[in-house]
Amino acid sequence: MLFVEGMPLLYLELAVGQRMRQGSIGAWRTISPYLSGVGVARGVVSFFLAPSRAARPALSPSPVSRPQDPLPWAVCPLNANRTGFEEECEKASSTQYFWYRKTLNISPGIEAGGGVQWEPALCLLLAWLLVYLCILRGTESTGKVVYFTASLPYCVLLIYLVRGLTLHGATNGLVYMFTPKMEQLANPKAWINAATQIFFSLGLGFGSLIAFASYNEPSSDCRRHAIVVSLVNSSTSIFASVVTFSIYGFKATFNYESCLNKVILLLTNSFDLEDGFLTTSNLEQVKGYLAATYPSKYSQLFPQIRNCSLEAELDTAVQGTGLAFIVYTEAIKNMEVSQLWSVLYFFMLLLLGVGSMLGNTAAILTPLTDSKAISSRLPKEAVSGLLCLVSCAVGMLFTVEAGNYWFDIFNDYAATLSLLLIVLVETVAVCYVYGLRRFESDLKAMTGCTLSWYWKAMWAGVSPLLIVSLLLFYLSDYILTGTLQYQAWDAAQGQLVTKDYPTYALAVIGLLVATSTMCIPLVALGTFVMRRLKREDLAPAV
């Protein structure tokens, strides 16, 4: 996906922005007046994602502000009578309890809205205030901030790499990561996930690339930039994965060994075995002996004997919602000097989130300030302030008790289908509306470089055909799935349960998808009608 989608489309967007010297709306209007809707659709997608992109970094300061010993998610709190632990926490885990109950105070379903949680709401407000201060002076100040927010996480990751590789069980995670499962290549969802990862990590389809590239010098080598950024991006993903899976390996090994120790303790006490007789190496053999020798007693005890599996622990370590806030933090709580690793980790998440917010905001702000109708009436500072204010107001939806469910809706459905369609239209527009030969001559005039067969083949054939295939599968998969579902937190069971989305939530999902995708045909139709009416007004009377 990197070589057939990511790299070619990154080069295309950078070249379009650098050639047209305008934001996403103006750039596509220059190619064809009927394509202005592509830029509008990009802006709508970025606007929908901006509040959700701010929701996660807004939650990062919450754990950082409490680096106590032990960490607040390391142990379950006592119940009201102080006779034991909270029942919900005991059924789940201390990490899940802290995330779902203390941080989110999550409702049992999307239909139970609940009140605003003041701490996430305040952090969200501060995050947007920080973004406003960063974009206030234009791309020059934004670029400097992005250098900081993009480079410092590398330092944190490097520190985590050294720590992660020295953890007990880290090699189990790395072996799990690098062991290929070839059967997954036959699963179209794997390719959808790969395409989505490339689109989001490179920022394809959002308009931010075109907006930033429009400030480049016309002679800049955007091809080299596309290649370097693509390779650095994917190398960073692999680097971060090595860090992540080393820590996941530690967490899975810790849980696996804890499970074995509980079984050993249970069998030792129940059958009055000598201390130290039962070990992890002879556990299965002794279990078989006890089952054969004491069948009735063993059968009564069997429901309490857990089936410990390292493979199962590794499988569950990389799944589920709240991945960054549950799995990672559960591993951190078992590390030495856990307070330090906690602060470093959440500070990194905060920087990455702010950097993502800046890119999204730039994608919306550039076409707005390029518009003469807006810039002639309002100064840039006012437009930036209004954009941040509206985005913050929409983001407050994610700070209510049901906010996490609405976050999942915006995060899962506001962009994926729309991005595929937008990038497909832009590729077809450049190659077959503007003309590939014409675009090639423009690039040669700007940079002095000629297009190789690779870029032409990707733009004109391979990339759009693959996007069409992904679109068809994406749609058919949702049609065959039936009613859309989500994961809701059940406090009584202490775990996530699957529920169907209510009708109004499905309507919001449909509205999110339609609002962005329909911009392209509606703006084209509006342009056609306006040009037709203008032509009739100019026609001489008979």
CA 388 to chain CA centroid, Å, is 21
Inside any domain, residue 440: no
pLDDT per residue as tens digits for the range 481-502 = 767 888 899 988 888 888 989 9
State the pLDDT confidence band at 348, using cuts at 50, 70 and 90.
confident
- Check whether 319 has a pLDDT greater than 70: no
Q: Which residue has the higher pLDDT, 54 or 79?
A: 79
The answer to whether 476 is annotated as binding is no
The answer to whether 356 is annotated as binding is yes
Average pLDDT over the chain reads: 84
* CA-to-CA dists, residue 383 to 7, 366, 463, angstroms: 33, 10, 36
Inside any domain, residue 433: no
Inside any domain, residue 39: yes
For residue 497, the cross-strand partners are 488
Q: Which two tokens stand for residue 143?
A: 């670029």
pLDDT per residue as tens digits for the range 282-295 = 888 888 888 888 88
Q: How many structural domains comprise the chain?
A: 1
State the pLDDT confidence band at 232, using cuts at 50, 70 and 90.
very high
Residue type, 465: L
Query: 10 Å Cβ neighbour count for 393?
Result: 11
Model's pTM, two decimal places?
0.81
Most confident of the ranges 56-65, 227-236, 258-267: 227-236
Q: What percent of the chain has pLDDT over 90?
A: 19
Which one, of 365, 316, 73, 35, lies nearest residue 215 by Cα? 365
**Residue 414 DSSP symbol:** S
User: What's the distance, Cα to Cα, between the start and end of the chain in Å?
Assistant: 59
pLDDT per residue as tens digits for the range 178-228 = 998 888 888 888 888 888 888 888 888 887 788 888 888 888 899 999 999
Quote the CA–CA distance of 205 and 13 in Å, as a whole number.
8
Which one, of 289, 260, 257, 258, lies nearest residue 273 by Cα? 289
The answer to whether 352 is annotated as binding is yes
State the pLDDT confidence band at 350, using cuts at 50, 70 and 90.
confident
Residue burial 420-444, b: 16+ Cβ < 10 Å; e: rest: bbbbbbbbbbbbeebeeeebbebbe
State the pLDDT confidence band at 141, using cuts at 50, 70 and 90.
low
Inside any domain, residue 471: no
pLDDT at 317: 53
Inside any domain, residue 332: yes
Quote the CA–CA distance of 479 and 477 in Å, as a whole number.
5
Quote the CA–CA distance of 143 and 138 in Å, as a whole number.
9
Q: Which two tokens stand for residue 318?
A: 């990389």
Quote the CA–CA distance of 39 and 429 in Å, as a whole number.
12
Q: Which two tokens stand for residue 302?
A: 């069997």
- Residue 498's Cβ-count burial label (10 Å; 0-12, 13-18, 19+) is exposed
Phi, psi of 72 (to 5 degrees): -60, -20
β-pairing, 485-490 vs 495-500, is antiparallel
SS3 320: coil
- Residue 21's Cβ-count burial label (10 Å; 0-12, 13-18, 19+) is middle
- Check whether 405 has a pLDDT greater than 80: yes
Q: What percent of the chain has pLDDT over 70?
A: 93
**Domain membership of residue 304 as a residue range:** 5-415+478-538
The answer to whether 107 is annotated as binding is no
Phi, psi of 116 (to 5 degrees): -75, 135
Q: Which two tokens stand for residue 69?
A: 């010993």
pLDDT at 460: 92
Q: Which residues, 6+ apart, have CB-to-CB distance to 267 below 8 Å?
A: 273, 278, 286, 287, 290, 301, 305
Quote the CA–CA distance of 343 and 191 in Å, as a whole number.
35
Inside any domain, residue 370: yes
pLDDT per residue as tens digits for the range 455-488 = 999 999 999 999 998 888 877 877 677 678 888 9
Query: 483: left (phi > 0), else alpha (psi -120 to 50), else beta?
Result: beta
Inside any domain, residue 155: yes
- Check whether 61 has a pLDDT greater than 70: no
- Check whether 449 has a pLDDT greater than 60: yes
Inside any domain, residue 426: no
Query: 10 Å Cβ neighbour count for 403?
Result: 25
